[in-house]
Amino acid sequence: MNLKTNKTLLILLLLLSSAFGFSQSNTHPNVILIITDDQGYGDLGITGNPHVKTPVIDKFASENIRFNKFYVSPVCAPTRSSLMTGRYSLRTGVRDTYNGGATMAGNEVTIAEMLKQANYTSGAFGKWHLGDNFPSRPNDQGFDESVIHLAGGMGQVGDFTNYFKFDKSYFDPVLWHNGQTEQYQGYCSDIFTDQAIQFIEKNKQHPFFCYLAFNAPHTPLQVPEKYYEMYKDIDPTSGFEADNRPFPEMTEKDKEDARKVYAMVTNIDDNVGKLLKKLDELNVAENTVVVFMTDNGPQQRRYVAGMRGKKGTVYRGGVRVPFFIRLPGAAHGSKSIETTTAHIDILPTLADICKVDLPKDKKIDGKSLLPLILDKKIDWANRPLFFYWTRRYPELYYGMALQKGKFKLVGHTDYNANIEAFELFDIETDGFEQNNIVQNNKDLAKELKSELEKFYYELIGSENLNNSQAIWVGNKNENPVVLNRNDAGGDRGIWSQEEIYGKWDVSIEEGTYNAKFKFIKPLETAGRMYLEMGSVINQIQNHTTNTDIIEMKNIHLNKMDGELIPFYSTGGKRIFPFWVELEKLD
């Protein structure tokens, strides 16, 4: 073979490599995954909202790859566990957003852990919501750097470091940097972006994975004044007069909430712009995968592109979200993809792009999106997707759906209901899910119901769901341990109540401990503090009134896997602590 032929072959190989969007230099490209919280499909200019100002994200979407039928779970923690693992959330042990159901099993393999095969450095910034104690924190699950808030929302009861700041919890927060508290200055979304940029600057010389998970525009709806000023005078219901799509009824509170949400989204847009600009300045943009998505539909009523439902529902308004991706060195540029895809596809897609193996010994429910991006002929038309949402655990046929091809079966009915009690939609012709066609398509509905049942029974039998991840107490990786309300089980809907039964699932190392119990309000009367762990009960008389802290010192605890149950008994009442700190002394 002569020199001219060799040169021709080399040119052809380079052209082919460019056509597929990759070159030898980006075998292991950097990855940035941006996800926002409770930002619905309609909260962007590019998806038809005439009010919200999102020029950066709109431009990013228009210039890159748009998956127009991308789905997630109806609420945040399940979505986050699925995108981190490529698995339905119930397989990972995540079944709720609190009630002790938002802790992902430590044996799950995250994107960060998977990318360790190629020596990626990983950082998580913002909202984690998959467990606040060892072994479920970001720094236990493959992330080398993390700056996060606790629980599902900044200032919620589980985020005890910011809870008592009330309407200022998004400003100057106390955050958790690699498992330790630190005070930060500024607005939360700005802080998380700045921390992500610092991480990128530090690790630009080798492959990195940056997970930037904004907690905005989740409630409480707090935003810097300059952003609110942009929207304070708008009517969020205007501008849709010529739109034939359904539009939700909005109260005055809904309208004011929309103004604040749009302000928070514009702040996010500015921060995304700042991050993308930094990639250019560091000359790493051409070797970086960038993803933008949201975690579920809007929490409040507002424009959602005509779709039915919102956060917490299995209708499209609750589970269809924007998903945009930019690949390194991509020659295909702008593209819209109409194939049905989902959050479970993110991990296998990144495995494919970054040339690493999928996790072994785990059932991966998702598929790589790369063949779709590269226009390879594949048939996903009949791939089923399962959705559910009820508090605590899934309830058969209630808040449950199966989507397959152009049909979607929705159940909001009893466990023994007949097929006529379900809803069946042709989402190809009825994307707004307004026309229930079950009466004339009962055989089809029964087939989908049978497939839904298979999903349900398989998923509720998952090992990590039935053997939920215990919080490790007395372990050297986290001592002391602070148990928060978000991870407390017990009575259904446990939140900030005082008189309620609560507990934590724990695995305790034998040793001597100090215990501290914090209460939401000062205790007004004398009583006894109890700490129950299986057959072992410790109690102490408290004579101090108007205190919100009780301590037990030098308690000997045996090695135990089970339930830790604390309560304060006074005047016939049993008061559950706001949080419990356990510190191993030996």
Digit-coded pLDDT (tens) for 389-423: 999 999 999 999 999 999 999 999 999 999 999 99
CB neighbourhood size of 528 (10 A): 13
Angular region, 178: left φ>0, alpha ψ -120 to 50, beta rest? left
Per-residue pLDDT tens digits for 518-542? 999 999 999 999 999 989 999 999 9
> Which residue ranges make up each domain of the chain?
30-373, 384-465, 471-584
CB 40 within 8 A of CB 49: no
Choose among 348, 396, 208: nearest CA to 289. Answer: 208
Mean pLDDT rounded to a whole number for the chain: 94
Residue 58 DSSP class = H
Give the span between the Cα atoms of 109 and 296, in whole angstroms. 23
Residue 330 predicted with pLDDT over 70 = no
Residue 10 predicted with pLDDT over 50 = no
CB 304 within 8 A of CB 310: yes
Looking at the domain covering 384-465, what would its CATH class be? alpha beta
Beta strands at 341-342 and 70-71: parallel, antiparallel or unpaired: parallel
Per-residue pLDDT tens digits for 110-130? 999 999 999 999 999 999 999
Mean pLDDT of 532-558: 95
Q: Please report the pLDDT score of residue 121 as a whole number.
A: 98
Q: Please report the pLDDT score of residue 380 as a whole number.
A: 87
Give the span between the Cα atoms of 228 and 411, in whole angstroms. 39
pLDDT band at 11 (very low <50, low <70, confident <90, very high): very low
**H/E element holding 380?**
none
The more confident residue out of 330 and 184 is: 184
Residue 24 predicted with pLDDT over 50 = no
Mean pLDDT of 449-468: 97
Give the span between the Cα atoms of 263 and 258, in whole angstroms. 8
Helices and strands counted in the chain (H then E) = 13, 28
Choose among 510, 577, 512: nearest CA to 542. Answer: 577
Residue 7 predicted with pLDDT over 90 = no
Give the span between the Cα atoms of 573 and 564, in whole angstroms. 19
Choose among 131, 151, 152: nearest CA to 141. Answer: 131
Please provide the CATH number assigned to the domain covering 471-584.
2.60.120.260
Point out which residues pair with 103 in neighbouring strands: none
Phi, psi of 58 (to 5 degrees): -60, -45
Q: Please report the pLDDT score of residue 242 as a whole number.
A: 83
Beta strands in 306-452 (DSSP E): 320-321, 323-326, 335-337, 341-342, 384-388, 398-404, 407-412, 423-426
**Which architecture characterizes domain 30-373 according to CATH?**
3-Layer(aba) Sandwich (3.40)
Give the span between the Cα atoms of 371 and 378, in whole angstroms. 8
- % of the chain with per-residue pLDDT over 70: 95
pLDDT band at 377 (very low <50, low <70, confident <90, very high): confident
Angular region, 38: left φ>0, alpha ψ -120 to 50, beta rest? left
Residue 335 predicted with pLDDT over 90 = yes
Give the span between the Cα atoms of 318 and 73, in whole angstroms. 8
Mean pLDDT of 317-341: 90
Residue 334 predicted with pLDDT over 80 = yes
Residue 147 predicted with pLDDT over 80 = yes
Residue 6 predicted with pLDDT over 70 = no
Q: Please report the pLDDT score of residue 39 as a whole number.
A: 98
Mean pLDDT of 433-457: 98
Supply angle C-alpha 465, 295, 403, rounded to 5: 70
Q: Please report the pLDDT score of residue 26 as a whole number.
A: 63
